[in-house]
Structure 1
Amino acid sequence: MFRILLACTLVLPCMAGGLSKSDKKEIKKMLDGTLYARVDMPCATGRHAYGTYKRPLVEVSPTGINTEADTVVSASWYHADSTYWGVSVNQPLKMDDLDIDDDGIEIELEGTDDEDIQTVIMFVDVDNMEQFKACLDKAFSRVPLQDEHSDWPADIKAAIANRKLVNGMTKKQAFCVTGRPVSFTKRTEGGKDVEVWDLRTNKGVKMGYFTTSVHESTGLPSQIKFVNGTLTNVAETGSGSDFSLDD
């Protein structure tokens, strides 16, 4: 029995991860400044008897990103929880809080210009700085995503910076505006490859203690189409107040 206990004692520190105090200090330093999201970063928002909370839905590992968010809304007299898609691709963010423990590295984030833009994500399977850097590179860029591509046309970069879709964009360029589509279909029409993306048009439900934000618009169309890899069906649109039968 003593040998078993001794073996467990020797093994447990390895299972808990190999990040040193200096590593954790360096991690905090590396998360300082503006970070641009490479993927959509939804989180669960909720309330309970003691206040409100955010729960990470996106897990980033050195080998990939799990973005399969739970979209179920649950509620009772004492508790409510739902998914909020408040942070989209290319959103500028800054770290608000950091928690490093045996389960992973939990990073709370907020918008650089708007503190109401909030989310939380989790880095997992991180036992050394090399693995942390791999997670960091998968989740964030230090510059707006369009600025990583010197070969992209200036007008396309400007559209992405303004979160605007324009005809002629490639799928990678459009992704910098839309993020991951809710669903997509591929087919052939007249010998051309056609791909249709169904986009998320609202941000879901954000739970507060006394208030709830419901289905805030993302500003995106419900659907876009690519023909031979090029965006083709984006049209100028206006708000309901701009609508007129006289012009």
Structure 2
Amino acid sequence: MILSGANALVTGANRGLGAALVTGLLARGASTVYAAARDPLLVGLDDPRVVPVRLDVTELSTIKEAAARAADVDLVINNAGVGGAGSLLTTDPERARAEMETNFWGPVAVLREFAPVLARRGGGTAVTVLSALSWAAAPWAGSYAATKAAAWSFTNGARAELRVRNVHVLGVHLGFMDTDMIAHLDVPKIAAAEVADRILDGVAEGTDEVLVDAPSRMLKEALAGPPKGLEI
């Protein structure tokens, strides 16, 4: 996909990876970037090509309104996400359900509304930002991992279903990224700008999957081995 001159929408665009993706798209010559967030006033990029849009992935009415407003998009990046619920065996189940609503049902709802928009434009690209934890046995993040595993399965199914409509579906996996979500963890982290760059490279190249870093590549390879090899 040629990003120069393209119109894109990014969810969770007010900070972290979402803000980095907006900046990266502008640097690559995008014509319009719809910066979607629960509160569009928090989108702080001052560029005439940036259009702040209210979109809460857990509120269908806002998704429908965004799809109507951004009816000229060629690229949709499902980036919005939450974490921190912890173990599925010990956490408050309501927190786990809320995490699933955002990380799984959110991307499903967004793509359901925007797939027809992309198809009417002759096809385009839909990206789902996933995680290396999609494949990991991580009790300390069991809820988050389950949401990303479900989103991975959905992304693969959507790719097969939308191919006939000329819509390319790209899944992105990465380990620890330097954002507010994991600021409390003392581990090596990759910069959000670097992740955004690799995602946009994948969009431009038309790849089906981007494994951003060593943890994502290691865990993908470990899927062929015994389950114990997935424990972290």
Give your verdict on TM over 0.5: no
Q: Report which of the two has the higher share of strand.
A: 1
TM-score range (shorter-chain normalised) is: under 0.3
TM-score, normalising length: structure 1: 0.24
Larger Rg, first or second structure (1 or 2): 1
